[in-house]
Every structure is written in structure tokens, then in C-alpha cells.
Structure 1
Amino acid sequence: MKVDLAIINAQVFNTFTKKFEKNNVFIIEDKFYYITDDEIENWQASKVVDAEGQYLIPGLMDIHMHIESSMTSPSIFSEAVVTHGVTTVVADAHEIANVFGMEGLEAFFSQPSVMDIFYAIPSSVPSTTPELETTGGYIGVEEVKQLLQHPKVIALGEAMNFNGIVNEPDSLIRQILHAVQSERPFMPLEGHVPRVSGLELSKFLYAGITADHTHQAPESIYEKITNGMFLEFQKKSITPENMRVIVKNDFYEYIAIITDDVMADDLLEGHLDANVRLAISCGMPAEQAIYCTTYTPARRMGFQDRGAIVPGFKADFLLLNDVGSFEIGAVYKDGKLVYRQGNGISYPAVKPDFPEHFYKSLDCRALKLEDLRFRVKASEKAVVNVIQISDVGTFTEHVQREVRVADGFLDWENSGLALIIVMERYGKTGNIAYGFVDKALYEKGAVATTWAHDHHNLMVMGTSSEDILAAQKQLLDIQGGYVVVQAGKVQAVCPLPVGGIISDAPIQELGAQLKGVRQAMNRLGYRNSNEIMSFSTLSLPVSPVIKITDKGMMNVRSQVMIPLVEGEQI
């Protein structure tokens, strides 16, 4: 029998027994043909690779992630991530959709890539409603119906609008869910279900949402899975206590390991493979971790051609040097070598291709000093509403603080709080919203970005007017990205000129720039398990408890606006 490729002497992962078996694997064109212990002499192979006892497993599959979170293009992302063993992703491109709408999605769909990139329809553009945040793009029912016809679209992306799902039967998100269920009844519907339980969880499930990827705890894992929800574990949910729940209850069939968001500097070190290693270190058996990054995600998304080493499936696979440490020796896509440890990628790099106007997307005025002065009625002290950040994760708390009043104005620069400003950047309204943040910056300085979940308006936070003005000006000059200023001097810059959220620079250059931003934020006193994500999600109005958009601060659950100064409207 003649085949194109033979991998011999491999320890092959059998998905259905979850064991490794010494076998030879024969491949014709881009598919597995036969897995056997037959001697190679009985076969005519165009190419033979002796695995020498390496462990052969299916290519990893990440079914809940956002390419834009790595701040790079699909092409560059693919080149970086395939070296970490990922051969298929399902991307929810709601960030580029929030900036450019359908045009942004089409630009992403058309980018070439080494790995297979499928897409989930962005269901929440905006994440709440146009009354609560201004976006550049909009995805409504008609846009969803168009996207349902696209061959790369295989799921509905995370439904995030809590009120719209739970309390408003005629909301846009409910209309979108109905449209998808009517036209593609077997399409997976992804959810964003943080800190939701009891009757509210039932309402999410009743609406058709059957998966959640948000931060989990042992009790939420048990409740959600036993109510029929598929759980997707990103890094912050992969903990020893959570893995114990999975192992104890044999919940492997109902979960997948995913990434959700991986910053560009972290991407240099690992991607989904890093989360596999983390799961193993937290107590999940290695074979189950492989199962939950290959077969269960494939089944969740309805793939019938990948996720296992069996005849007829795509020949996407890895050769591991060691299972426990998950050290990747080689990666094959469609039966062809695309990466070998020590040699790098084995295909030509592809340059991103975006429309010219994507590089000029900021329509926002420069701040002035008078924009940062707040006259109040109180004569000595005023009570202000404050977003309090945490050291881990993106959740916040709503607290109040007293701020001294000097000559009728808030003396916020001496309050120990940071001022946060969100400016509408699409040339639609010119909105400017203000808030205060606690446990953010402890030194004199400012951080500014246009990578502000999910609307991506311009956001700047600082402890001095001088630094806020300097950071915002620099951000406008580079047409978006991240800027850190300390004591009047620019300390770090990460340009993201494509829509203010994406770089077309090589991933190594982008990663170094982003690492510089992270370090500069640390010097200002910003402390979080992921400083950049923590800062960027201060504007995400679907992440508990209090966040800010260009319309103002709001309680995420009730979607009620919160004034800057209690009892006053500024």
C-alpha cells in the first residue's frame, strides 16, 4: 500500500481508551489512513519519520478565544500559536467587530493562516446596548443572519448582556439567539455567565446558552455542569481546588481547556499548551488534559473530522518528547511538518493585509486641563463613587471615598485615587465620562489605551493632570495602542495602529513592547495577576461589579448609571 507519510515507532494516544499505544501511523494526503502495529516494510511511504518513542497526540484545539486579545493579525497569530501545538481555533472576533463592524469581520475572515481558524458570530456588539456604550460597529439580527451563511462560521460567540438575557425577552441578544436557533438549530451557543447561579442560571440555559468560560469556583462547576452547561477553563479557573472537582466527579466529558485571552508577551512563552501544563500540575491526569484539549472541544463545536488519531480525520498532530512536561518536539498540520523544536516554523511568513483606513481610526479631540477640573457644591469634602480593582482577575467592587474640596473643585490629585476617563473615539458623540479608581496607581503617572473592552474607546487613567494630558496626546499621535507616562515622561509605548487594537509588527517586537508597558505600569504601582487585562476591562460593562464606558460609570448587573460625585451630576 502506498502512503504519503508514515510515522513509525510512536506512542500513539488513543482517544477512546485514553491510553498510549505503540503504533505506526500512515497518512494519505491530509488525513490519517491507518493506525497499526504493522511493520513499515509492508508499506510504500513517500516519507518516513521515526518518532523513536515520542508521544503522538491530536493537534490542540482552542474553541473559545479572541485573536485580538493577542493584539495581532490572524496570520501572525497563526504563525506564533502553531509552535505551541494549536492546529485549530474557533475565534470570536468581537473586538474588531466593535471597531469596524462587518467590514472588520470580513477583513479577519480573508487573512491567510497556517492553522485552521473558524469563527463564532460576535453576539454582543456592543456588549450591552448603544444606550450604555458607543461602538464603531454594530452586529444586529440582519448581520447575524448574513454571518450564518459564511462557511467559516460555526458557533455563536459569547452572549454577554445579562439583563438582556435574563430580564428582557425582546432584547437584541434574545432576538439574535432566536434567529440562530431558528436557522441553525444545532449551532453551539457560547455564553458569558460570571457569578450566575440558581434561577438566573436556569434563565441562561432556557434561552439556549449551553457553555460558559468565565471564572469558576468549585461550587459553580458542580452547579453548572449538573444543570447541563459545558464549561471551558481558561487559566484563572485552572486551580487545584477546581481540578479536584473535575477529577472527583469524572466531569471530563463536559469540559474543555481554552485560553480566551493571551497577551502578546505571554504568547512568546506559551498558549493552550501552557494551560495543559497548568492543568496537569493542578492534578488533572495528563491523558485527560489531552482529551480536554482535543476531543471534547471538537465534539462541543460539532467537528466530525478532527480531535482524534483515527482513519479519515485530519492529520493534525503533535509529537511530544514527554507527556508530563508537555514538551513539544514537532507539529504537523494536514500531514505536513509546520514546526520542529530547535528549527522553528517550516513555512514562509505571511504579512497582514488590512484596508488603509483601518490605520486611521481615531476621531477624538485632545484633552485640555479644564476637562480635568470638577466643580462641586460641597465646601470641604465630597463623597465620590469609586471603582476598586482587585489583585487577581478583572472583577471590581463599588466603594465610596471622601475627597477634599479646594476652592470649589475636587482635589483629586491628592486623594490617593486615580482619575479614569473614557472618550468616545469614533466621531459620533464626543462623549467624555469620568470615574475614580482605587488600588490602581500609587505613583505620579498615567496609563492610556484604545484597547478598552469591548467598545475600544479611548481610556486614560492617572494620578496627575500633566501625565494624563501627555499620555492621551501620545496615544492620539500613534493612532492607538498603550502608553505609560511617569512624572511627565513617556516610559513605554505599544502602538496598535490597526483600529487601535492590532499591531502588524512581528510578534517578538509586539511582545517586547507590551512587556515594556506591563513593567512601566508596575513601576507606577499597578498590581494585578494581569495588569493589562485588568486595566483594559475597567471599561467592560458586562464584567462585575462596576465599570465605566463613554456614557459613565455603571452597576453592571442593574445597568444603572452611577454619578462621579454622590448627590451631584458633573
Structure 2
Amino acid sequence: MKADLVIINGQVFNTFTKKFEQKNVYIVEDKFYYVTADEVENLQACEVVDARGQYLVPGLMDIHMHIESSMTSPAIFSEAVLTHGVTTVVADAHEIANVFGMEGLEAFFFQPSVMDIFYAIPSSVPSTTPELETTGGYIGVEEVKQLLRHPKVIALGEAMDFNGIVNHQDSLIRQILLVVQTERPSMPLEGHVPRVSELELAKFLYAGITADHTHQSPQSIYEKITGGMFLEFQKKSITPENMRVIVENQFYEYMAIITDDVMADDLLEGHLDANVRLAISCGMPAEQALYCATYTPARRMGFQDRGAIVPGFKADFLLIDNVERLDIAAVYKDGKLVHERGNAIKYPAVKPAFPDHFYQSIQCRALTSEDLRIKVNSAENAVVNVMQISEVGTFTEHVQREMAVTDGYLDWENSGLALIVVMERYGKTGDIAYGFVENALSEKGAVATTWAHDHHNLMVMGTSAADILAAQKQLLDMQGGYVVTQAGQVQAVCPLPVGGIISDAPIQELGKQLKEVRQAMIKLGYRNSNEIMSFSTLSLPVSPAIKITDKGMMNVRSQMMIPLVEGEEV
């Protein structure tokens, strides 16, 4: 018999001992055939690669992520992320579903990719209810039943509607959970469980949700894992204090390293590989970090054919020069070399195709200066409700501030706060909502986007009316994306013409544009560990504690609307 490929003399990662052993690895077609320290005379090879001095590890597997967070198509995403050693992902495409519903999902499913892209059913389209946010698409019980029959669908995407899960037996998310548990009882159910503990955490677990990927602390890690929950660690949760809890309690079997969201500019520097390096630098042993980026994610998703270098498993693997640095020299997918260090990203020969109407999806009017004059009943000062942002993460706090009133209108341009406006963009209601934000922009200017978690309505925030108007006009002209303005002039743009959330440009071009937006935001005084994500999640009504949609500001936990001006109607 002939093997198609043999890798000789490499230090092969043994998943089950978590040690490296010098072995020869024989590959037949797209699978590992034999792993041995001996030469096999009657097993010849068509191609031999000498990996002396190198390490063989399984291809990395990211089981909780959103392709749309990289603002690119699945086909382009595949080629870009393969260069970082990721050979399998499980994508929750709830962003494209919130914009286009089932049509958006089908557009993703049919795009070609070299890496294996599996999908989780978007369980949160919308993330709350249609009464609290307007979306372009809707995934209900019937849509879930259709998706359960799709061969690429292997999990239920993050269930985010806390109120619906915990307090309402007949809510859409509870109906979805029942359908999935009935028709696919072994399917993993992913959760979005931020700042939830004790009895409320038990209610999530009782509903069948068994994983969480949100921001963790040492206390939440111990409580959730010992309570039976599988944890998925994204960048903001990979800290020395959190890794110490994992190491000291040997919690490796109950966790995986994931990305969740990687922006296009960050993608140029790294993907899941960057988070593995971060875990190692924060104190996790390198072998355990590799285990938690290959085998535990495979087991969590029920894969029986990947995550280890053993006979019968898919021949997805990396050759690396240094384990601690995860220095990737080559990437193999299905036994074929798909990337070598130093080579450029290979893009599809034909630009990824989307329906024509995906490029004309922003259906709202231009703002006027009159829209930005906010009339109040108070004659002097008014108390306004405010979203206070943090410099780390996406959480906000609800605070109140006093604002001057001039001639019956809020003098917000001189308040030290930023005005945020969310406009329904699907041509359904024409709703406009207003809010105020603290710790946002310290200079005069504005930031606007249609990449507004998860409903993706048009959102613009600024400290001057002229800049808000200029930013919104530019956003309409380019059919979505990100815009930064200052002194009435456009400072940076990142066009996302596909549904207002995706670009079909090469990732280098897209990443450069997004980096320019980020830098322009910083110049205006925006301070956060991830400026783009912080701004875009001001509209996410399931992320604590106060957020805004096209329906207005709301308390995330209670889902009660909050008036712009205290004492006046919402």
C-alpha cells in the first residue's frame, strides 16, 4: 500500500498523554493512517516531508465565533484564517441572519471554503423580541426546524434572551430550546450568560444551556464549571488570574479557547492562534493550551473525526517551530499543504457572490438638524439617563446626569456627553431612538455604523450636530460600514456594502480601513480595550447593563425601557 504523504522525524503531539513524541505520521487520502516511531517498509509514500526539529499539532478548532465580526465573507475568511492554523470553525451566523434571515444563512452555507465551516443555529434573531428591537430577518420555530435538517448545522447558537429563558415559559427562545431538545437531543446548546450566578445560573442550566463564552472572573469560572457548565474563553477572559483558576483546579477538560469576535484589522495579526499564545503567556502550560484549542472543542461539538493525530482522524495539522510561541511554519488541511509561513493569503479566484439586493439594504432617511434638537418640558435643567461605558470590555452602567436646557431644548452639545441616535434601517417602522453616552468622545466629532449588535440598525454617536449629520450622510451614501467625522469632515471610512456588515474586499484592504477608523476614534478620545466592539455593542440589548436599540434605551436584565429624560415618557 502507498501513503499519499508521510511526515518523518517530527515531534508529534499526543493528545491523550499531552506530550510530544518523535514519530512518523502516514497519511492516506485525507486522513491519518498510521503514527509510529518505526519505519514501515511495506508502506511507501508518494511524498515525504522531513519535520526534524519541528512539532506536529492538530489543526486548531474555533467552536464559538462569528465570521461577520471579521466583516468578510466565509470564502475570504477561510483563506485568511487558515494562515493562522485554524482548520475547523463552528460559526454562529446570527449577524447575517439578523439582517437577511434564512436568505442570509443560505448565502453563507453555499459559499466555498477550504477550511471546514460548520454552523450553529442562530437562536437570537432577534436577540430579544421584535417589540424591543427591529431586525431585517427572523428565525422562529419553523426556521429552526428547517435548519436542524441541514448537514452543516451541528449546534444551537448562543441563547441570549435572559428574560425569555428565565421568566417566560412561552417565549420564543424557550420554544426553540424545546424543539432542539426534542428533535436533536444530543445537540450542544450554547449560552450567553454574563454576570449570572446562583439561582439565576441554575435556571439557565435547568433550561438545558450548558456552555458560556462571555466575560469571566475567577469566581464565575469556579461556580460555572463546578455547576456543570462548559466554558469557552475568548481574549478578554484569558487573564493570569483566570488561567490560575484553570491550572490550580485542573479544569482543562471543561473549557476551550475560542475567539468569539476578531475584527478585520486584528485578523491580519492573528486569530485563535493569538489566544492560544495569550493563554500560554498567562500561565497555562503549552500542551494544555493546545489540548484546549483542538481536542476539548472537538469533543464539545461531538466531532468523532478531528482534534488529534490518530488513525482515522482528518489529516488537519500544523508544523510549528516553537511550541511556546506557536510559531506556525506550515498548515495542512485534509493532508494537503495549504499555507507556508511567508506566503500571501490565497484569495478565491472569483469574488464571493451575494444577491444584488444585499448591496442596497440601508433603507432610512437622512437626518436633519431638527432631528437633533431634543425638546423637553423642563424650563432650566433636566435629569437625563446615561449609558456609561467602561475602558475594558463591553459592559455599561446606568447613571443619571443633569443637563442644561436652553429655550426648551437640551443643550447636549455642551454637556460633556455624547448623543447617540439609532435609526430603524429596514424600511419597516422608521423609528428613531435617542440616548446619551458618558466616557465616549472627549473631542468634537462623531462615529457612525450599521454594524450595530445584533439588529444592525443605523447608529450614530457624536458630540456635535454637524458631525452627526455628516457621518450619517456618508454612511447612507456608501450603504453601510463605519464612518468617523470631525469638524464636519470625514476622517475615516470602512465600507461594508453587503448588508451593511460585510465587505467583499481583500482582508488586507478591509483591515487597513478598519484600523484607520479605530485610530480616528482614538483621536476623538474613545478609550476602550476594543474601540470598535465597544461602540458596536452599545446597541446590544442582552449585554449588561443598559443599551439602546431603535426602540430606545433599556435595562438589559429587566428589559424595561428607560426614558431619555427622567420623569418624561419613553
TM-score, normalization: structure 1?
A: 0.99
Matching residue of 2:569: 569
DSSP 3-state at the match of 1:84: coil
Instruction: Tell me, yes or no, if structure 1 residue 363 matches structure 2 residue 368.
Output: no
Map 1:62-461 to 2 at 5 A. 62-345=62-345, 349-461=349-461
Per-residue deviation at 1:375? 1.3
Tell me which amino acid in the other structure corresponds to 1:448: A
| Alignment partners' CA distance in 2, 1:350 and 1:123 | 32
| Alignment partners' CA distance in 2, 1:353 and 1:34 | 40
Answer yes or no: is the 8 Å Cα contact 1:480–1:499 preserved in 2: yes
**Residues 56-77 of structure 1: CA distance to partner in whole angstroms, max 9, x if unpaired?**
0000000000000000000000
| Alignment partners' CA distance in 2, 1:349 and 1:399 | 52
Answer yes or no: is the 8 Å Cα contact 2:484–2:521 preserved in 1: yes
Per-residue deviation at 1:43? 3.0
| Alignment partners' CA distance in 2, 1:169 and 1:451 | 31
Matching residue of 1:468: 468
| Alignment partners' CA distance in 2, 1:109 and 1:161 | 25
Aligned residues: 570
Per-residue deviation at 1:146? 0.3
Tell me which amino acid in the other structure corresponds to 1:413: E
Instruction: Tell me, yes or no, if structure 1 residue 511 matches structure 2 residue 511.
Output: yes
| Alignment partners' CA distance in 2, 1:482 and 1:540 | 17
Per-residue deviation at 1:378? 1.3
DSSP 3-state at the match of 1:56: strand
Tell me which amino acid in the other structure corresponds to 1:496: L
310-319 vs 369-378, which moves further = 369-378
**Residues 287-326 of structure 1: CA distance to partner in whole angstroms, max 9, x if unpaired?**
0000000000000000000000000000000001110111
Per-residue deviation at 1:569? 2.9
Tell me which amino acid in the other structure corresponds to 2:526: Y
366-375 vs 347-356, which moves further = 347-356
Per-residue deviation at 1:2? 1.2
Answer yes or no: is the 8 Å Cα contact 1:404–1:410 preserved in 2: yes
Matching residue of 1:50: 50
DSSP 3-state at the match of 2:200: helix
Answer yes or no: is the 8 Å Cα contact 1:447–1:471 preserved in 2: yes
| Alignment partners' CA distance in 2, 1:111 and 1:70 | 16
Answer yes or no: is the 8 Å Cα contact 1:338–1:345 preserved in 2: no
Tell me which amino acid in the other structure corresponds to 1:208: G
**Residues 379-411 of structure 1: CA distance to partner in whole angstroms, max 9, x if unpaired?**
111000000000000000000001111111110
Q: Relative to 1, partners in 2 of residues 1:349 and 1:217: Cα closer, same or farther, differing over 3 Å? A: farther
398-407 vs 350-359, which moves further = 350-359
Structure 1: any 5+ residue segments left out of the alignment?
none
Q: Relative to 1, partners in 2 of residues 1:339 and 1:250: Cα closer, same or farther, differing over 3 Å? A: same
| Alignment partners' CA distance in 2, 1:288 and 1:349 | 38
| Alignment partners' CA distance in 2, 1:428 and 1:376 | 27
Instruction: Tell me, yes or no, if structure 1 residue 478 matches structure 2 residue 478.
Output: yes
Answer yes or no: is the 8 Å Cα contact 2:79–2:346 preserved in 1: no
| Alignment partners' CA distance in 1, 2:485 and 2:345 | 37
Per-residue deviation at 1:37? 1.2
TM-score, normalization: structure 2?
A: 0.99
| Alignment partners' CA distance in 1, 2:103 and 2:43 | 50
Tell me which amino acid in the other structure corresponds to 2:464: S
DSSP 3-state at the match of 2:83: helix
Q: Relative to 1, partners in 2 of residues 1:345 and 1:332: Cα closer, same or farther, differing over 3 Å? A: farther
Structure 2: any 5+ residue segments left out of the alignment?
none
Q: Identity of counterpart residues, as a percentage?
A: 85
| Alignment partners' CA distance in 1, 2:140 and 2:2 | 52
Per-residue deviation at 1:44? 1.2
DSSP 3-state at the match of 2:400: strand
Q: Relative to 1, partners in 2 of residues 1:346 and 1:46: Cα closer, same or farther, differing over 3 Å? A: farther
**Residues 122-171 of structure 1: CA distance to partner in whole angstroms, max 9, x if unpaired?**
00100000000000000000000000000000000000000001111111
Tell me which amino acid in the other structure corresponds to 1:9: N
Answer yes or no: is the 8 Å Cα contact 1:158–1:192 preserved in 2: yes
Matching residue of 2:526: 526
48-57 vs 143-152, which moves further = 48-57
Answer yes or no: is the 8 Å Cα contact 2:494–2:510 preserved in 1: yes
Tell me which amino acid in the other structure corresponds to 1:502: I
Tell me which amino acid in the other structure corresponds to 1:518: R
**Residues 18-72 of structure 1: CA distance to partner in whole angstroms, max 9, x if unpaired?**
0000000000000000000122655310111111221000000000000000000
CA RMSD, aligned part only?
Answer: 0.9
| Alignment partners' CA distance in 1, 2:503 and 2:161 | 29
**Residues 346-398 of structure 1: CA distance to partner in whole angstroms, max 9, x if unpaired?**
78555211001000001100001110011112111100000000000000000
Instruction: Tell me, yes or no, if structure 1 residue 59 matches structure 2 residue 69.
Output: no
Per-residue deviation at 1:240? 0.3
| Alignment partners' CA distance in 1, 2:422 and 2:11 | 54
**Residues 239-293 of structure 1: CA distance to partner in whole angstroms, max 9, x if unpaired?**
0000000000000000000000000000000000000000000000000000000
**Residues 440-482 of structure 1: CA distance to partner in whole angstroms, max 9, x if unpaired?**
0011100000000000000000001100000000000000000
